[in-house]
Copies of this chain bind each other. A is one copy, B any other.
Amino acid sequence: MHKSKLAGFIIDCQTSDLHGAARFWSDALGMPVEELPGAEGDRYVRLKDPADQLHIEVQSVKHPSRVHLDIETDNIEAEVERLQALGATVVEYVHTWCVMQAPTGQRFCVVDKASARFEQEANSWQGRAG
């Protein structure tokens, strides 16, 4: 058995001005910017969800701008397999996460669990060994 849930979303911005992009989205959504330390801070800025439910980041990317969803899990391999059985495909593995494509065309990521209420709120899925 493994678990997963919606982690939040990433606002992918095709820009070299990450901080300008983050400022717009921070002001638009009314969510304070939280700078990330070190090298991560060069590509990602976190926006703090006042309801403390969602992990939201603004990311500078090379591909066209979009919004993508993140699914967090305690078992990336099992979750990728579950999503493949639903019709999604693996695009690539990057660092610790997996980029997938939905049968409806959107890309999304499967990432390690990180939210405070993961254990209480995530859905439980029975594997094939069930």
Binding site for B on A (CB under 8 A): 4-6, 9, 11, 13-15, 20-21, 24-25, 27-31, 49-51, 53-54, 64-69, 71, 83, 86-88, 102-106, 108, 121-123
Contact = CB atoms under 8 A, between A and B. Distances in A.
Nearest to A83: B28
A60 to B, nearest CB: 9
Contacts of A88: 24, 28
7 contacts: A9-B69, A11-B106, A24-B86, A24-B102, A24-B103, A28-B102, A30-B122
Contacts of A87: 24
A22 to B, nearest CB: 9
A14 B102 CA distance: 12
A20 B71 CA distance: 20
A67 B65 contact: no
Q: Which among A21, A27, A29, A67 has the greatest number of chain B C-beta atoms within 10 A?
A: A67
A65 B105 contact: yes
Given A104-B24, A121-B51, A30 B5 contact: yes
Nearest to A125: B30
Given A11-B106, A25-B104, 9 more contacts: A6-B29, A6-B49, A11-B104, A13-B104, A28-B71, A28-B86, A65-B106, A67-B69, A67-B106
